[in-house]
Amino acid sequence: MANALDEAREFVRAALAKGESREDIEKALLGAGWPQAQVKRALSSYAESGFSIPVPRPHTQLSARQAFVYLLLFTVLLVVAVQLGVLLFQIIDIAFPDPLENEYRVRSRQTAIRWAIASLVVAFPLFLFLSRAVGREIEQNPAMRLSGVRRWLTYLALFIAATVLMGDFIGLIFNFLEGDLSTRFVLKSLTVAVIAGGIFGYYFLSLSREERSAGGG
């Protein structure tokens, strides 16, 4: 059974075959209530060509290998973000020690630092490698930008980052209202904001660029 995007693509194909301009096709679909993102994706399915019939662009089918790479990439990203946060939290605790801290907490901090460093030594280079590999594949086959699995995972990363940011700011405001806004807490909140905000900003801008690129053909 055809989905909504397939219907829009079929309409675009038929309209282009009759000689309608892309601008008029876009206006017709938008006027019928189609979302602009789907209209742009439908239009981008056909190359701008002087051929007598519409020339379709290739639609990449995501392979099991590609799905595995994307899942691994975002899992490694999560590990890097969490362990980087843990490491920075421990550094903040060392820089601003709690006078009531016991010896067990000090030993636990040392273990946490070693574990965070070990995780980053493994995960961060792997994240860079996977990111570069995915980037090369997309450059060679731009249709992969529209991969459903990739887009869902990217939006999931955006959702997690946005949720973390919201929780971070809620906690910051709550502690401010409680009058318990210590230096350590402020620095840790800023750490979370920078990490989660960086992830959110990077992937949000990346998706925006890709959608504009798809829309422009």
| HSE value, Cβ hemisphere, 13 Å, CA-based, for 114 | 6
Residue 197 pLDDT level (bands cut at 50, 70, 90): very high
Choose the most confident range, by mean pLDDT, from 42-46, 126-130, 173-177.
126-130
Burial readout 180-203 (b: 16 or more C-beta within 10 A, e: otherwise): eeeeebebbbebbeebbbebbeeb
In the predicted structure, residue 1 carries a pLDDT above the cut 60? no
Q: Which of 2-6, 62-66, 134-138, 176-180 has the lowest mean pLDDT?
A: 2-6
| Per-residue pLDDT, 193 | 92
pLDDT reported for residue 217: 45
Which pLDDT does position 18 carry in this prediction? 87
Highest mean pLDDT among 51-55, 56-60, 116-120, 144-148: 116-120
On the question of pLDDT at 104 being above 50, the answer is yes
Looking at every residue in the chain, the average pLDDT score rounds to: 83
Confidence category of residue 177, pLDDT binned at 50, 70, 90: confident
pLDDT at 146 > cutoff 70: no
Mean pLDDT, residues 81-89 taken together: 93
Cα 122 to Cα 115: distance, rounded to the nearest angstrom: 11
The arithmetic mean of pLDDT across residues 169-176, rounded, is 83
Q: What is the pLDDT of residue 84?
A: 94
CA distance 149 to 212: 19
Positive or negative CA dihedral for 194, 195, 200, 202?
positive
